[in-house]
Amino acid sequence: MQPDQSTSAISEVTRGYAHLDYAKASSQPNNRCQELRNVLDCWSRAIDIGLETVPSIMKTVEADLYLAISLELYRKERKTSQAVSDLSRVLHIEPGHVKAHIERGKVWLDMNMQSDQTRKSALDDFTKAIELGCNRTEVFEIRGKCYDQIGQFRLAVADFSKAIELEPNRHFNYYHRANSFRKGKQYLAAREDYRKVLALSSNQKLIDLAITRLQDIENLDDQSPSVATTDTYTNQTQNKSGILTWLGITRNK
């Protein structure tokens, strides 16, 4: 005799919500985490049985709630493999869930043992989020760093340029883009971006890093065709003053 899958899925969903109530009532952090894990375990079994078997008039598993619980558990437990599994469940419930792709991409990059595969998985998630319409500066920044790490400097430059276009006042993106230009042997463009950091940023650590990098590439010439940038600051004329005279920089007041 075959089990009643509808009843089983309903039971797991209901049991999960009961554990959620216990978690809300718990005053002990460890107990709360255990109850939240119980919630996801129940709902995961319901997903395996088939949420489509749960009648539409009944409470079911919501992607946003599954995501919120997954992220709370990850923040507290830092179990990367478990978090990837949990966030994949969110995407099973709601394919195309932008935030789930973004958060899973971040978790891939949190793994202690980084590899080409984990970076590729992260890139796939961030790219999917962007394809789905995500226009968050942070996502372009993170994806740009991923591209830079695997030596895809032109793609890194494109992402940092987009981040600058979205939020020009996040000056560290000029530094990141300059580094990608430098690694791609686009020294003229790199110098322009390092100078942007000096002209615009008030972060002394960032300024010191930019000065050091400028000194490193002072006499180097481009060794391949230049990479175009998209922000409006790149071609502005730099005035010269004080210590920055040698660098060709005037700091904004």
pLDDT tens per residue, range 174-209:
999 999 999 999 999 999 999 999 999 999 999 999
Q: Count structural domains, the chain.
A: 2
Average pLDDT over residues 42-53: 93
> Three-state DSSP class for 160?
helix
225 found inside a domain: yes
Dihedral sign computed on CA atoms, order 109, 111, 112, 117: negative
Domain boundary among 16, 45, 61: 61
For residue 191, the model assigns a pLDDT of 96
Dihedral sign computed on CA atoms, order 89, 93, 95, 96: negative
231 found inside a domain: yes
Eight-class DSSP state of 234: T
165 found inside a domain: no
Query: Distances from the Cα of 16 to the Cαs of 82, 130, 216, in angstroms?
Result: 18, 32, 58
For residue 57, the model assigns a pLDDT of 86
47 found inside a domain: yes
203 found inside a domain: yes
Domain boundary among 46, 61, 76: 61
Model confidence over 121-178: pLDDT tens digits? 999 999 999 999 999 999 999 999 999 999 999 999 999 999 999 999 999 999 999 9
247 found inside a domain: yes
234 found inside a domain: yes
Alpha helices in the chain (DSSP H): 5-25, 29-49, 63-77, 80-93, 98-110, 116-131, 137-149, 153-166, 172-183, 187-200, 204-216
Question: Is the overall model pTM greater than 0.85, yes or no?
Answer: no
Domain boundary among 26, 61, 96: 61
Residues 6+ apart with CB under 8 A from 114: none
Domain containing 27: what range?
A: 1-61
Output 55 or 18, whichever has higher pLDDT: 18
> Three-state DSSP class for 64?
helix
141 found inside a domain: no
Model confidence over 80-127: pLDDT tens digits? 999 999 999 999 999 999 999 999 999 999 998 878 889 999 999 999
